[in-house]
Structure 1
């Protein structure tokens, strides 16, 4: 169990998406949920996104995983980063749970890094919020102020930025947390062998929203209303400001109609950037199979990283899971909320649910999709 030692309501009011903060001893008696060897093992898997960043005299070199061996990298000057560890390593989920005072739709993933002395990834700016939790070892972090920071060496394709004047310069030790909002440059340097954990939170961009909306309109053969005008300007090559605004108002109408945007938004927000450890049954189970399993003592558990979302004021009786729509018509709203909010549903609850055919059918669907699994 991981319990935060700070007031989360005060944090969201004073710091969330506003300014960075160092929280010393944010966790008491912090224990690493994963070892360096276990992390290295995950980075050997084809389906798991990983990389090694080497610190060099002229900058940083990135090697993409998976990896077969680490001996060639030596004893210092490199860092292993593994994305979405919570998807593949269930023991890391309790650490994620500590940060669920923020909504699931924002949550991106848990990235874990193992770094040797002098290892780091260079000064950079993220377009998402991140909490950096220090495990074993020590790392020095510098954070600069938000502003106009140039990409390193003038390279427009580089994720790195030029050196900056720090407003935070701190050594993190076990249990410390550094929060950095989007747009603030930061850089970490490893002082001793270290494990650290980055919990990221993202929100969709205008590009993502427009792309998803366009795809939804095309897939459903919607959005065919055309611009009309009763007053035309005589000047041949002239497009009036009023007409320009009238055309753009067609998009505004879509954005103001829940029937047009809710399903699109639910699918977009429930998607994951990284692979999930889906494990569907080879042969689909039936409703009777579900009832038998529950009566034999089974509970159900959500796989790591899976987003199950319910949109407020959605009149379509839907859940959004992993970018897909799941109908929950006829199921009590309180139970739908439990499915959206809880990662684990115990046998006592399931025994009550087993009296409702629509619920049993839903549980079978969740398991057949590989999104949930039976657990003791």
Structure 2
């Protein structure tokens, strides 16, 4: 079976999008045949202890849930199994493992603008994070061990008061399955679910963000404040004495309202905002410039011979003739746009790719910024 058909349980992409995406759950047995996971429990714990990683530790002891956020040290994980049920969850694993980035590429039938990251969780037998729902789409791919998933499409989303997690107060199980390595469960937003480890268990969660309109509106106003210019100052040369000096006059309201209504935007403004905002790295993400950078000529030779790849942390989107990379917008010519869109789509450029001058200049600047590098063994070691 075609790998993409296997990933979706024999469905074509169009069938999946039509019948399941954002509509209802889908269980797929052996979505990724032979998949055993990308790292072991101790490797995940080691990753959780890095200072550039977002991680959480969830414990359940004496009928109480507790949540800890990073930073962690190895000692934080010692002896946990003797103290109760627990889980460790690490965000953005695709930023550190090339194999994780390759796994995410299997889901490229969903636009990159919707992708959040790959989260990996580990729990010993009985561990989990309790019944909850998420406000995003997620594919739950089983690696090591077995996890029992219970789901509910209930409308009651009342949360447990005072809990450190968004736990459902009343969770009514409608369906449940045990997933083994290579099995996958797709859940649309707000579908209640509870995952319980049947044994030492690791789950790979490929999440797709669904930003709140409130969040987008607030950030759009922040975006606009640096791009608007309303001339003039408030003036009232015909000011009349007021009976109540504390009242804001109708004249002031009218004049200020007229000025504010001069703030305008169009679809291009919205597109540029979305490209910049959705490609902006999370606050904890930083890029390292090459320790010893190549000259522009040497860099061009390396691209000709080996091609280029994006750094695992780089986010790149496109619209119209504008390319967005890590929060920055770059309007470019059509020829350059086609080349850079190819890079954004595949996260790499093949060797011997003919470049426009503008594309070559941008690629070299992004190399100096640490956003990409020549596709060579030496470059790939940066992620190890």
Q: TM-score range by the shorter chain?
A: 0.7 to 0.9
Correspondence 1:145-294 to 2 at 5 A: 145-152=153-160, 154-155=161-162, 158-222=165-229, 254=265, 257-273=266-282, 275-276=284-285, 278-282=287-291, 285-294=294-303
Q: Distance in 2 between matches of 1:51 and 1:348?
A: 44
Q: Could you tell me which residue of structure 2 aligns to residue 126 of structure 1?
A: 134
Q: Distance in 1 between matches of 2:276 and 2:331?
A: 13
Q: Where has structure 1 moved over 6 Å in runs of 4 or more?
A: none
Shift, 1:20, TM fit: 1.3
Q: Mean alpha-carbon deviation: is it higher for 111-120 or for 276-285? A: 276-285
Shift, 1:222, TM fit: 4.3
Q: Distance in 1 between matches of 2:165 and 2:91?
A: 20
Q: Mean alpha-carbon deviation: is it higher for 49-58 or for 123-132? A: 49-58
Q: Mean alpha-carbon deviation: is it higher for 324-333 or for 134-143? A: 324-333
Q: Distance in 2 between matches of 1:279 and 1:128?
A: 31
Q: Could you tell me which residue of structure 1 aligns to residue 239 of structure 2?
A: none
Q: Could you tell me which residue of structure 2 aligns to residue 41 of structure 1?
A: 46
Shift, 1:337, TM fit: 2.2
Q: Could you tell me which residue of structure 1 aligns to residue 146 of structure 2?
A: 138
SS in 2 for 1:203: coil
Q: Could you tell me which residue of structure 2 aligns to residue 102 of structure 1?
A: 110
Q: Mean alpha-carbon deviation: is it higher for 62-71 or for 282-291? A: 282-291
Runs (5+) with no aligned partner, structure 1: 226-235
The counterpart of 2:85, out of the listed 46, 58, 77, is 77
C-alpha contact 2:145 2:181 (8 A) present in aligned 1 = yes
C-alpha contact 2:153 2:192 (8 A) present in aligned 1 = yes
Shift, 1:97, TM fit: 0.9
Q: Distance in 1 between matches of 2:162 and 2:317?
A: 39
Runs (5+) with no aligned partner, structure 2: 233-246, 377-384
Tell me the TM-score normalised to structure 1 length: 0.84
Deviations 1:215-246 (A, max 9, x none): 12211234789xxxxxxxxxx99x9xxx9xx9
Q: Could you tell me which residue of structure 2 aligns to residue 92 of structure 1?
A: 100
Cα 1:158–1:77 shift into 2, 3 Å: closer
Q: Could you tell me which residue of structure 2 aligns to residue 233 of structure 1?
A: none
Cα 1:364–1:148 shift into 2, 3 Å: same
Deviations 1:19-56 (A, max 9, x none): 11211221211131222222121111011011211122
**Residue 375, structure 1, aligned to residue 382, structure 2:** no
SS in 2 for 1:166: coil
